[in-house]
A and B are shown apart, each in its own frame.
Chain A
Amino acid sequence: MRQSLQASYVLHSRPYRNTSKLLDIFSREQGRRVLVARGARQGNSRLQGQLLPFIPLLLSWQGQGEVQTLTAAETGTLLTPLKGRKVLTAFYLNELLLRLLARDDPHPALYDAYAQTLQRLSGSSDRASDEEAGLRLFECFLLQELGYGLVLDHEVSSGGVLQAQQLYCYQPERGPWVIESKQDCENGLLVHGSTLLALQQGDLYAADAHTEHHNLMLREAKMLIRINLARHLGAKPLQSRELYIQQKQLLKS
């Protein structure tokens, strides 16, 4: 089968044989796939400097079986290159996709969300809260695309609409329950209705400088998504998260 000029991102690449690369790609129409890029590590290769992660590419490939052969690569519209901390964040996105997406399972909407998240990352905003909001929305969308979406539109005991001011207890297998006070939350996570509504509407970005309320919302969203993701990630910890933890020990306070 021959595929030409498919919009794709490289999620991960590793050296293969003497001069080739094995690429794990995420293509808009074809989903996750493994390609071999022959000779891509040779100094005179046209592909050198092109098959990098986080850059929109147009890839062509052909072949049969599980691993197919890359025949051509073009760089799509270029973004400002990701810098510094943002590269590590982007690796986190890739790790999530590699861990959770099955091969040959197309998710065009998820692809678009991934592209948009990267674009926001490479954008001018340096606010940590914007970066975090973008990550949460992507994770939330990823869960939804995989069929494990969070319950964000109704309360599960009565089926009623969520209220921004109400306190809820979120149980991963079931969804949000109305509770009267913080002490009532057993085997679940305490969240405010406003956090759930913000996730549903895709609006976690702060309008102006951080407020106490916005920080609380981000914290709640983080925990909520983390416990939901953890159920699908299995026991192996996410390496890109480990990096942050290990760095703390190397920093001098």
Chain B
Amino acid sequence: MSFSPLISQLIEVLCCLPGVGPKSAQRMAFHLLQRDREGAKRMATTLLEAVERIGHCSQCRSLSEQSLCKLCASSRRDRSLLCVVESPIDVQAVLQAADYKGMFFVLMGHLSPLDGIGPIDIGLDKLAARLDEGEIREVILATNPTAEGEATAHYIAEIIESRAGIRATRIAHGVPVGGELEFVNSSTLSRAFNARTEV
């Protein structure tokens, strides 16, 4: 079935969202046009504004429309602690799960030599400059437990080691809470075993 050019274009554009294929895009397009034109207008203007105004926080590189994001501007957070994560979503995950009062640094990716992503692409020059400011006492490396995430964590740890007085720590990996050993994959289990802790 062929739609008028503008409708097809709308469907095509909606397909750029994650998890949205042609079929769901079609449903969304018709919903907006038939039932919620007001919502569609609001969505369009907000989208435009967001894309134009949202940039990166100058300190933590997370997404923000201000030059200094809310977390970095807050005076109630502990400035001697810095948690390094791969993406802005990870910031939210840490905030929700852990009682963490420190600052963040968002890499917006990880080192991936095979994709040609190097230290400057993930802002390590900025991180190094921030370490040199002298406020930070501990850096918590919370990159993903993938091979690339591991490599990134170690790479940053070496940069930290070359500066006296800053501790580098890595989040623990292991068996998920509420899980059963039988169903945990062997690489996770072997790590959990190697990094066992005193009870």
The answer to whether A binds B is yes
- Check A78/B155 contact, CB under 8 A, given A239-B114, A240-B113: no
**Chain A contacts of B120 at CB under 8 A?**
246
Question: How far does the Cβ of B194 sit from chain A's closest Cβ, in whole Å?
Answer: 7
Q: Which of A48, A50, A84, A243 lies in contact with B119, CB distance below 8 A? A: A243
Q: Which of B18, B128, B163, B187 lies in contact with A78, CB distance below 8 A? A: B187
> B interface, by DSSP: helix, strand, loop or mixed?
helix
- Interface residues in A, total, Cβ within 8 A: 38
Q: Which of A75, A238, A253 lies in contact with B185, CB distance below 8 A? A: A75
Say whether B2 faces chain A, with CB atoms less than 8 Å apart: no
Contact digits for B86-129, partner A, Cβ 8 Å, 1 yes 0 no: 00000000000000000000000001011110111000110010
- Inter-subunit contact B150/A87 (CB<8 Å): yes
Q: Which residue of B lies closest to A55 (CB)?
A: B187
User: Could you tell me which B residues sit within 8 Å of A by CB distance?
Assistant: 18-19, 111, 113-116, 118-120, 124-125, 128, 132, 146-147, 150-151, 154-155, 157-159, 162-163, 185-188, 190-191, 194
Sample of 12 more A-B contacts, CB < 8 Å, known A12-B114, A91-B114, A98-B114: A52-B146, A55-B187, A75-B186, A83-B150, A84-B150, A87-B151, A91-B147, A95-B113, A240-B114, A243-B111, A251-B159, A251-B162
Q: Which residue of A lies closest to B18 (CB)?
A: A18
**Chain B contacts of A95 at CB under 8 A?**
113-114
Which positions 5-61 of chain A face chain B at CB distance < 8 Å?
Answer: 11-12, 14, 18, 48-50, 52-55
- Inter-subunit contact B185/A87 (CB<8 Å): no
Say whether A80 faces chain B, with CB atoms less than 8 Å apart: yes
Kindly name the residue among B18, B115, B187, B191 whose own CB sees the greatest number of chain A CB atoms within 10 A.
B187
- Inter-subunit contact B187/A50 (CB<8 Å): yes
